[in-house]
Structure 1
């Protein structure tokens, strides 16, 4: 692989095509369903899908098939299959729905107003996560340009991630036979510590959600009659939570929820600290 030629090709592709595409993408207020209950009737999600789909279809990548899959009552999903060498499959993931406007923008900036200052493009969604499909196809196209063989690739771009990806499992089930069994999944939706090197997120802390209800009475009674006699539901709740977490240190108490951190992860954390310093 010619690294110099690779850098020149990808740099030109991003400057000439992808940055203008992301600029137009930022203008579209396609907020995730959690933040726009009428997303379907507003049509912004369809606009964003059409923008990405159109660019994908114009890419000269051999054996590529682009499809917008729409399950009834669910956000759309862009599904791309690219023929490759061998029997292996690589899955590349991203999303195109956006977080809401929020506040704190500088006077000359805004969520739906793309502004390019130097080599930084400001606006909602460009980095989270509009670039994902462009980055995936740009990388595959760069390999093709240099004649470097690559595995079969599947690109999935969902439109519900900022709402918890509640539509994604239905698409995974619906497309399971076409996805195959990937040996590698690349999730193009993470962060980086700086702009000086390539960053890879190897793991993230998990999240478990649930609803906890405490009931102490069958019917309401006056506090003057019952306080001090009937147990406080808040106090019961606090005691239950204290079984799970030390309220002083934040340590999770049940030992079955702890795992041994692999040494390589510890080494990576130490190296990350060295690179970032006290920033």
Structure 2
């Protein structure tokens, strides 16, 4: 009866929860350096207020090591029941070129079944699905089937660099038997998924310099080295024409797929035309497709290298000069059983080896995030399968993800290998991290219904 009451309350108050989501999207909580930190603080405060309104207790804003704030709340009213820790993040990515958006990034706009806005899906939908599912129980019955703790992070999009400090300070506060993480995606619209593996990331900034300041390209061009050309030559040596990484020994530690993993990939529907459309590939562009590995296998189980940004001069101020330096941000997505430390060392050495003579190179590493993989044999995954099938009307698929979430690996370790259920509402049309980000609302609604059922299913585990 308790679960039925919660489901009824959610149906009756769905529009209110949607308005709460819109209010969060309106806060430009960009955690990247160079943006106003006050907006992330305002976002944390808004999340805290929604937690209190939902009926959570001991709500507080946690500030750790000078980083962006976390919001925390709990309900521990079930004395002998187990505890679930729920995670999402309230910070968002920069908007990129706002002229590319079809609506204002921080003015949520409903078009058909999709809500557009930065953070609408990644991950303020996760924040609100967490709060809405808890609120539906507490407002309808005054209690939950099990104890709940919620931690909403404010710096996931910049690598969760202060997570070790959070764990060091608040490990006892965050202890739980299960983890529900609402920051992943479904395989497709209407096809729910539980993510069982994440890639990690190793990233560096490289600056190639040759001059004290820019100089006239006509007066000095010829004998002087060109930092932009030097950077281009370095980048050209990082991968081959199929996207294979050329760093020596980079693939040595990559785990081979199990028979079960191969079957999962084989059984999933995949169509190149749909894949190209979802990935926003231009019509005449060929995929960097190694015939030995399917695209899903490449994204989930193989490392990849991306050049995320390059800067030298600018379009607006272009002139006939040889620039003094050129900069690039390079990232490698790592997979089981690759070591972040070993990968960083290999990348650094290879970049230095590729640098043309006479060029000065500076390499600055970013905080690395390790890969993560879980065992789905735990009863919590059976509970998730039952709950999601009730919410979506079909069983979920277990998939990998090419993305990285810094929270998962250190938290599962700190919580004595508590099983982590990674669910979410992003889909191939979401455009997370790009312009025109959007959330498919029918699946968001089903996700919340699934989470309401999941509390009840987890409470049944002995």
Equivalent-residue separation in structure 2 for 1:148 and 1:100 (angstroms): 36
Equivalent-residue separation in structure 2 for 1:175 and 1:67 (angstroms): 12
CA shift, 1:176, in A, is 0.6
Alignment correspondent of 2:61 = 68
Q: 1:258 to 1:187 in 2, by over 3 A?
A: same
Alignment correspondent of 1:264 = 260
Equivalent-residue separation in structure 2 for 1:211 and 1:123 (angstroms): 29
Matched, 1:139 2:138: no
Residues 71-110 of structure 1 show CA distances to partners (whole Å, capped at 9, x for unaligned) of 352211111222145464322111111111224211xx11
CA shift, 1:56, in A, is 1.0
CA shift, 1:23, in A, is 1.4
SS in 1 for 2:150: strand
CA shift, 1:57, in A, is 0.2
- Contact 2:108 2:116 (C-alpha < 8 Å) held by counterparts: yes
Equivalent-residue separation in structure 2 for 1:114 and 1:213 (angstroms): 38
Residues 158-211 of structure 1 show CA distances to partners (whole Å, capped at 9, x for unaligned) of 11111111123221221111112x343222111223332422222122223457
Structure 2 residue runs of 5 or longer lacking an equivalent are: 209-221, 275-462
Residue in structure 2 matching 1:168, options 158, 163, 187: 163
Equivalent-residue separation in structure 2 for 1:65 and 1:168 (angstroms): 21
Q: 1:33 to 1:238 in 2, by over 3 A?
A: closer
Structure 1 vs Structure 2 CA RMSD: 3.7
> Which has the larger displacement, 184-193 or 120-129?
184-193
Equivalent-residue separation in structure 2 for 1:85 and 1:9 (angstroms): 25
Alignment correspondent of 2:31 = 32
Q: 1:72 to 1:164 in 2, by over 3 A?
A: closer
- Contact 1:35 1:100 (C-alpha < 8 Å) held by counterparts: no
Equivalent-residue separation in structure 2 for 1:251 and 1:97 (angstroms): 33
Residues 129-178 of structure 1 show CA distances to partners (whole Å, capped at 9, x for unaligned) of 1122321132234456477722x322111111111111232212211111
- Contact 1:160 1:168 (C-alpha < 8 Å) held by counterparts: no
Structure 1 residue runs of 5 or longer lacking an equivalent are: 215-223, 228-232
Matched, 1:185 2:184: no
Equivalent-residue separation in structure 1 for 2:189 and 2:157 (angstroms): 24
Q: 1:23 to 1:265 in 2, by over 3 A?
A: same
Q: Pick 1 or 2: higher relative contact order, CA cutoff 8 A, min separation 6.
A: 2
Matched, 1:18 2:17: yes
Q: 1:211 to 1:87 in 2, by over 3 A?
A: farther
Report which of the two has the higher share of strand: 2
Name the TM-score, length of structure 2 as normaliser: 0.47
CA shift, 1:68, in A, is 0.9
- Contact 1:85 1:149 (C-alpha < 8 Å) held by counterparts: no
Residue in structure 1 matching 2:149, options 148, 154, 158: 154
How many residues end up aligned between the 2 structures?
Answer: 253
Equivalent-residue separation in structure 2 for 1:2 and 1:154 (angstroms): 19
Name the TM-score, length of structure 1 as normaliser: 0.73
- Contact 1:94 1:156 (C-alpha < 8 Å) held by counterparts: yes
Equivalent-residue separation in structure 1 for 2:273 and 2:5 (angstroms): 36
